[in-house]
Amino acid sequence: MSKKKTGLGRGIGALLDNIDVDLDPTASGLQAEEKVQILKGTAEIPIESIELNPFQPRRDFDEEKLKELSQSISNHGVVQPITVRLKEGTTDRFQLISGERRLRASTMAGKTEIPAYIRLADDQAMLEMAIIENIQRENLNPIEVGMSYQRLLEEVNLTHEQLAQRVGKHRSSVTNYLRLLKLPPEIQKGLQNGKISMGHARAILGTDDIATQLLVYGETLEKALSVRAVEQLVRQYASFTRSTGSKKVAAINQEIKRVQDDLCKRYDRKINIKHKSNGSGQIVFNFNSKDDLNDLLDTLDG
């Protein structure tokens, strides 16, 4: 018989597949038979015994939708149990892993108990479960998704490949969400507020220049541009920048040549100026013999 996988690789569904666990009876104050009862399937637990998840990625909850969910819970009860863990060092206190909206709505509906899956999880596993569960929500905006991905990379130490597997997305999709976090805050806010779509944001990322990104964003809002129009606008700005840059480089090179010619005439010898794009460079004086070098040094000293 193959061993059942217990990893987090299939998203939040996988987290709840393995609710039945075998426990060491000495792990806390509960007796073995009590542990088996409380940690298998679901249990109705007092709402007042549940602490909110300190790792909850989401902080804003739509009050109107909470009221709608509260009314549904009043009529039909909690359809999907929340997920909690037993708080370390206690036998009757819990920390929420996922389901804060259901918990808040149940409290709003006047419920005193709520069905819950009770799991064993350390802080890192709890953070990972909370973030992945949060990502599964359909109403997250692209910036919230990108920030959740970033937290999984930084705080759970996942690679891009592992992250893609955890959330059930292609790696390219994960990368696209993470790239959104490179946009200026003003554009990120516009994406969060629905002023532009993710397609617009990705088109704006066609240039790395922040000033150009902000110009394109402003024009997108002003003219209600389509994604295709934004892509074209970014290409136009990029073409203009390349053209202007080439003209600027040509002008600099011409000025360097003029100064080089002046120096050659002044010192009556071959002189080369090497100029770099960052503004640094070298002036090279050429000499043909030791005596010629001494003449050059006397000239420079004088």
| CB contact at 8 A, 218 and 204 | no
What does the H/E/C string look like for the chain? CCCCCCCCCCCHHHHHHCCCCCCCCCCCCCCHHHHHHHCCCEEEEEHHHEECCCCCCCCCCCHHHHHHHHHHHHHHCCCCCEEEEECCCCCCCEEEEECHHHHHHHHHCCCCEEEEEEECCCHHHHHHHHHHHHHCCCCCCHHHHHHHHHHHHHHCCCCHHHHHHHHCCCHHHHHHHHHHHHCCHHHHHHHHCCCCCHHHHHHHCCCCCHHHHHHHHHHHHHHCCCHHHHHHHHHHHHHHHHHHHHHHHHHHHHHHHHHHHHHHHHHCCCEEEEECCCCCEEEEECCCCHHHHHHHHHHHHC
Query: Could you say which of 33, 48, 100, 133 is catalytic?
Result: 100
Which residues is 273 bridged to in the sheet? 283
Q: Which residues contact 201 (CB under 8 A, 6 or more apart)?
A: 142, 180, 183, 187, 191
88 is catalytic: no
Least Cα distance to 226 among 187, 197, 206 occurs for: 197
List CB contacts of 289: < 8 A, sequence separation 6 or more.
Answer: none
Q: Could you tell me which residues come within 8 angstroms of residue 113 by beta carbon, excluding any fewer than 6 positions away? A: 44, 45, 46, 47
Residues labelled catalytic: 100
